[in-house]
Amino acid sequence: MGTQFTQGRSYRGRRPSFNNNSRRPRPSGSGGGFGYGRRPQRGPQQSRRSRVPGQQYIDESRFVNKNVVVGEPVVFTPQHSFADFALDQKLKGNIAKRGYETPTAVQDEAIPHGLLGRDIVGIADTGSGKTGAFLIPLINKVLHNRNERILIMAPTRELAQQIEEEFWGFAEYMRIGAVSCVGGANINRQIMTLRRRPNFVIGTPGRLKDLVERRALDLSTFNTVVLDEADRMLDMGFIGDMRSILARMSGNRHTLFFSATLSPEIKKLIGEFLREPISVSVKTGDTAKTVDQDIVRVGGRQRLDVLHDLLAKPEFDKVIIFGRTKHGVEKLSKALQQRGFKAASIHGNKTQTHRQKALGAFKQNQVSILVATDVAARGLDIPKVSHVINYDIPNTYEDYVHRIGRTGRAGEPGIALTFVE
């Protein structure tokens, strides 16, 4: 699939018509059309693009990438099937039960090296199946040695718990233990589970360090570590915690390192943490070719009214909306609920229980709209997200890439829209 780059276009489409059968009522007083075409006039003191302190300048053209099919799309042809890998038969059975027959590109390349115990650097686009790329060989490793213990570090609570959920799908009926250790959840329950010496400990750096300092987690018993979304952990300031945790593990450990980007800082971490790693890179670009990207010009209209008219369209059936602040996200979620939309929110002021409840409702289609801060931008694998809407412009282009990576996953088409003035 080729891409045609179009600069300056805005998301077009007729305003939805409403009748007695409309599933989403239109509020009173929301007249006017979309702000397409010329920009609204600004006074001499107004900036062309106002930004919050610390926000990176991002040219609007980078939010537009129109995908046009120019022939048959290139289809990845794996070199292996899951049946070809030297895996335990029970594990193969669980993989088959989940409907997986052929590996994704990153799985096809990484699993053979993981089974051999080689250190791996995996650079892959979001939604590429990298969780399976490390879980499958490591579960197999534990099946061959029940004393083996695996530590998996992830930047966010949601990603850590998603990895645990994936784990149970692969390890069903295998008598292998796992626990996710994240902030916002009851630490005493985590300590009690750790006393049972589960084979897999999955957590965020801050909570893992806390457990180590409480002497509830003995890292000297772990010989394998996975650093998932390492670039995000670096961005979030976890590098000190990561170094502290790895220093307590065996120097002869097996390390698997996954990142969406390969910056000079990431290369430095690779040199520091890994030994003669195998590089697995299946990254095809900053953003997936399956994501059609465009901008929505708000013009002189109320931003909420523009959003309402988009969400009322039937094709907007599973939508993630990103806002900048916790307060703004909560306010927007409630405003959408008041307008008759089924919406939920996740942000840092929510308890972990409420965040998980909102995510679960969205995954199970009990709500069709999830309003979130960037806490949800990385790693979350939510099937069939039709649209991502950047209600607020992200702070950096990297944040933008990870936000829109929530749609267009596993080869499915998706649309990303960014609101601009």
pLDDT for res 287? 56
CATH 3.40.50.300 in the chain: give the residue spans: 2-11+39-65+287-420, 82-281
Look at 203 and 353; give whichever has higher pLDDT: 203
pLDDT for res 300? 75
Residues of the chain by 3-state class (helix, strand, coil), percent to 5: 35, 15, 50
Which residues have a Cβ under 8 Å from the Cβ of 251 and sit 6 or more positions away? Answer: none
Tokens for 336, please give them: 């959408």
pLDDT for res 214? 96
Can you tell me the mean pLDDT for 199-223?
A: 96
Positive or negative: CA dihedral 19, 25, 31, 33: negative
pLDDT for res 181? 97
70-74, 168-172, 359-363: the lowest-pLDDT one: 70-74
pLDDT for res 112? 96
Long-range contacts of 112-116 (CB under 8 A, 24+ apart): 112/80, 112/85, 113/278, 113/280, 114/138, 114/256, 115/85, 115/86, 115/87, 115/140, 115/141
Look at 397 and 255; give whichever has higher pLDDT: 255
pLDDT for res 39? 37
Please say if the pLDDT value at position 350 is more than 70: yes
Neighbour-count burial for 195-229, b at 16+ CB within 10 Å, e otherwise = eeeebbbbbbbebbbbbbeeebbebeebbbbbbbb
Looking at domain 2-11+39-65+287-420, which CATH architecture does it have? Answer: 3-Layer(aba) Sandwich (3.40)
Q: What are phi and psi of 280, to 5 degrees?
A: -120, 110
Which residue's structure tokens are 């005493």?
Answer: 188
Find the radius of gyration of the CA atoms of the chain. 23
Per CATH, the number for 82-281 is: 3.40.50.300
pLDDT bin (cut points 50, 70, 90) of residue 240 is very high
pLDDT bin (cut points 50, 70, 90) of residue 26 is very low
Please say if the pLDDT value at position 20 is more than 60: no
Write out pLDDT tens, residues 93-136. 999 999 888 999 899 999 999 999 999 999 876 667 899 999 99
Percentage of the residues of the chain whose pLDDT score is greater than 90: 55
pLDDT for res 126? 63
pLDDT bin (cut points 50, 70, 90) of residue 375 is confident
pLDDT for res 224? 97
Look at 256 and 350; give whichever has higher pLDDT: 256
pLDDT for res 124? 79
Please give the mean pLDDT across all residues of the chain.
82
Write out pLDDT tens, residues 28-87. 333 333 333 333 333 333 333 445 666 777 777 677 776 544 334 445 677 889 999 999
Write out pLDDT tens, residues 283-341. 655 556 678 899 998 877 899 999 999 999 999 999 999 999 999 999 999 999 999 99
